[in-house]
Amino acid sequence: MKKILLTSFLVLLLAALSAVWWLHRDMQRQLNSPMALDEDQVLVVEPGMSLRRIGRYLSDNGWLSHPWYFIYEARRRDVATRIHAGEYAVEQGTTPVDLLERLIQGKVIQYSLTLPEGITFRQILRLIRQHEQLEKTLQEYTPESVMTTIDKPGMEPEGRFYPDTYHFPRGTTDVEFLRRAWHTMETVLAEEWPARDTGLPYDSPYEALIMASIIEKETAVPEERGRIAGVFVRRLQKGMKLQTDPTVIYALGRDFDGDIRRRDLGYDSPYNTYVYRGLPPTPIAAPGRDSIHAALHPEDGDELYFVSRGDGSHHFSSTLAEHNQAVRRYQLNGSNKPRATSH
């Protein structure tokens, strides 16, 4: 009798072990096989979403036939509470193990928004309002309201948000985005300011930022930035007006129709450097690092004037006579409309 019982026990044990072995093999096969996706998909994990709900979603949508394998694997690895909320790209060929790793590491879909160099604050706000993946939380899109909301009350926003391509997950708020761009500009200034050349006519990083914004708007030729900075610095040091067109354009604002006329050069605004000496009261755009660097490291020389050649580059002159000759050559005698820069 004992022999029969022992035999029965061994048979049952063997059957149980076989079942466990088969179950383990089946689980590993399914966990490491591509999920049933007809096309690339997006999995949205809401905040507080449980592992069981995620498994049920995978099953209900036909991605997994045995979601409990997925759930067991997460619990076996003790990572069930480490899953991050967000949007996840699930491409064809993705296995349940691959997906679990993404959920644990929080590899959510990243969206982007590019703030180009030379962008104004008004243009930044427009881009933010138009971006579908940024969550809109600002009550008002006025400079005063925005700066108060990002904990910078009373500060001027122009030029203070660093131009760059920013990546972020869905649900990032407009306020978070602006704080990040502000902090990035502060970081760049903090890195560049201590290494500045000596003898510059700036009392603070903010004044250097103002100069950098003018340089940014004056040229699209990278090699010219330092040279243009040199012209402006020498003009400031000599007490000459900067007389730079981008400040007039900024002063005109919405009234600027694409052409600067002679009467515009006399437009009464503290931003108009044809009328007032020194730097404008604030930046006129957001400069990139290269323009900031140029403002802090202007090229040496004796040039005090430059004029557009009409192709994006400029002709530089040391004397007014030479400059006037260049104006006649490149603007008054050509197809380009007159543009008086740094007279």
Summarised one tens digit per residue, pLDDT across range 41-67 is: 999 999 889 989 999 999 999 998 888
Tell whether the model's pLDDT for residue 304 goes beyond 50: yes
Cα–Cα distance for residue pair 210/33, rounded to 1 Å: 58
Q: What is the mean pLDDT of residues 3-26?
A: 55
Average pLDDT of the chain, as a whole number: 89
Look at residue 26 in the predicted model and tell me its pLDDT. Answer: 64
* pLDDT band with cut points at 50, 70 and 90 for residue 269: very high
Q: What is the mean pLDDT of residues 197-219?
A: 96
Tell whether the model's pLDDT for residue 337 goes beyond 60: no
Look at residue 20 in the predicted model and tell me its pLDDT. Answer: 52
Cα–Cα distance for residue pair 141/143, rounded to 1 Å: 7
* pLDDT band with cut points at 50, 70 and 90 for residue 342: low
Look at residue 338 in the predicted model and tell me its pLDDT. Answer: 40
Cα–Cα distance for residue pair 272/311, rounded to 1 Å: 25
Q: What is the mean pLDDT of residues 197-224?
A: 95
Q: What is the mean pLDDT of residues 197-207?
A: 96
Tell whether the model's pLDDT for residue 81 goes beyond 90: no
Cα–Cα distance for residue pair 295/301, rounded to 1 Å: 15
Tell whether the model's pLDDT for residue 11 goes beyond 60: no
Contact 240, 342 (CB under 8 A): no
Length of the chain equals 343
pTM: 0.84
Tell whether the model's pLDDT for residue 87 goes beyond 80: yes
Q: What is the mean pLDDT of residues 169-176?
A: 94
Look at residue 335 in the predicted model and tell me its pLDDT. Answer: 43
Tell whether the model's pLDDT for residue 15 goes beyond 70: no
Question: Which of 22 and 292 is assigned the larger pLDDT?
Answer: 292
Tell whether the model's pLDDT for residue 229 goes beyond 60: yes
Look at residue 27 in the predicted model and tell me its pLDDT. Answer: 66
Question: Which of 74 and 7 is assigned the larger pLDDT?
Answer: 74
Portion of the chain with pLDDT greater than 70, in percent: 89
Look at residue 220 in the predicted model and tell me its pLDDT. Answer: 84
Amino acid code (one letter) for 216: E
Tell whether the model's pLDDT for residue 331 goes beyond 90: no
Tell whether the model's pLDDT for residue 177 goes beyond 90: yes
Beta strands in the chain (DSSP E): 41-45, 86-90, 111-114, 165-168, 305-308, 314-317
- Lowest-confidence segment of 12-21, 70-79, 130-139 by average pLDDT: 12-21
**Long-range contacts (CB closer than 8 Å, 24 or more residues apart) made by 200-208:** 200/233, 200/296, 200/298, 201/233, 201/236, 201/237, 202/295, 207/279, 208/292, 208/295, 208/296
